[in-house]
A = this chain, B = another copy of it.
Amino acid sequence: MKLLSCFSFIKNIRRKGQILAMLMVVFLRGYSQNNILVFQSDFGLKDGAVSAMKGVAMGVSPGLKLFDITHEIPAYNIWEASYRLVQTAPYWPEGTVFVSVCDPGVGTQRKSVVLLTKSGHYFVTPDNGTLTLIAEQLGIREVREIDEVKNRRKNSNESYTFHGRDVYAFTGAKLASKQITFEQVGPKLPNEIVSIPYQEPSFDQGKVKGTIPILDIQYGNVWTDIDKKLFAKLGIKVGDDIHVQVFNDKAKVYEGSVKYVNTFGEVKEGVDVGYFNSLLNFSLGINMASFSEKYKVFSGNTWSIVLSKK
């Protein structure tokens, strides 16, 4: 804000053209770039791995602003990494660069890529399924493979097991600080990424079928992939009961009724409800208690849910 004023002022002074040109470049770069770099991993916060990545980024450019999604992705859980990206990325400004490191195949032939989405966000990650949901929901504008000769921390070739620090944090920092352009990341790949297969939600014969990609861990709520549009086909209104069945593979784990509410506060403590979560997906919860714990409902690609009118 203040810098812009400083530059506006400077532009008003008639000086040598070359200085003005130089300033214009600085101005334009400032305009198109916010220097924001956001990290996610399955490293946990108990050791120094995340800090080493941030140190590398600060070494690339101390002007970067570093943030986190979470580092508590369960070890090797690429699906959850994919989900956390899509849960958060849309809320960050255009131009933000994300580095996601959930990399059970580190040191093998999986590709290291940067995805630019149609929404203008960048994702630096091993292409191992982490991009599944982002690619689908934000759209692929372009994918590039990281040139690990150019875009690798100096003197890091002896380390085979920490690409998060030596390649991804380094490349993300270069990109976020505009020391390299997207083109300089490396060669363009076809517009596709490695995708984890999953069942799309559907409506058939008065029933909506979906999956349970994830739990809202802190409160024990159960999040599905059923959105408002699909749910609307059931013709259920706020205040009505919803008939719910939950399956793990073929085994029925839960069958019961929940009240459709906008928010938990509409019912007394202990009442089972269905509602739309902050990502606008249908969810199950209990006011002031854990639906997941009470009914032993968990998440993952073997879990499915069927909703119908009561």
Contacts and interface: CB of A to CB of B under 8 A. Distances in A.
Interface string A147-163: 00000000000111110
Contacts of A262: 107, 160
Contact of A87 (B10, B48, B91): B48
Contact of A278 (B15, B84, B159): B159
Contacts of A10: 6, 9
Interface stretch (A67-75, A184-192, A203-211, A244-252): A67-75
Contact of A34 (B9, B58, B104): B58
A232 interface: no
A234 interface: no
A107 B265 contact: yes
A63 interface: yes
Interface string A76-88: 1000000010011
A3 B2 contact: yes
A282 interface: no
A139 interface: no
A51 interface: yes
The 8 tightest CB contacts between A and B, nearest first, are A107-B263, A108-B265, A162-B278, A55-B91, A55-B92, A48-B88, A48-B87, A44-B218
A92 B58 contact: yes
B91 A47 contact: no
Contact of A265 (B12, B69, B106): B106
A58 B36 contact: yes
A5 B25 CA distance: 10
Contact of A43 (B38, B47, B218, B263): B218
A92 B50 CA distance: 12
Contacts of A6: 3, 6-7, 10
Contacts of A236: none
A55 B88 contact: yes
A217 B280 CA distance: 36
Given A23-B9, A34-B62, A263 B56 contact: no
Contacts of A194: none
Contacts of A228: 158
A49 interface: yes
Given A2-B3, A6-B3, A276 B218 contact: no
A58 B93 contact: yes
Given A158-B228, A159-B280, 13 more contacts: A9-B23, A12-B15, A47-B70, A47-B218, A59-B93, A76-B288, A104-B264, A106-B264, A107-B263, A109-B265, A161-B264, A161-B275, A165-B278
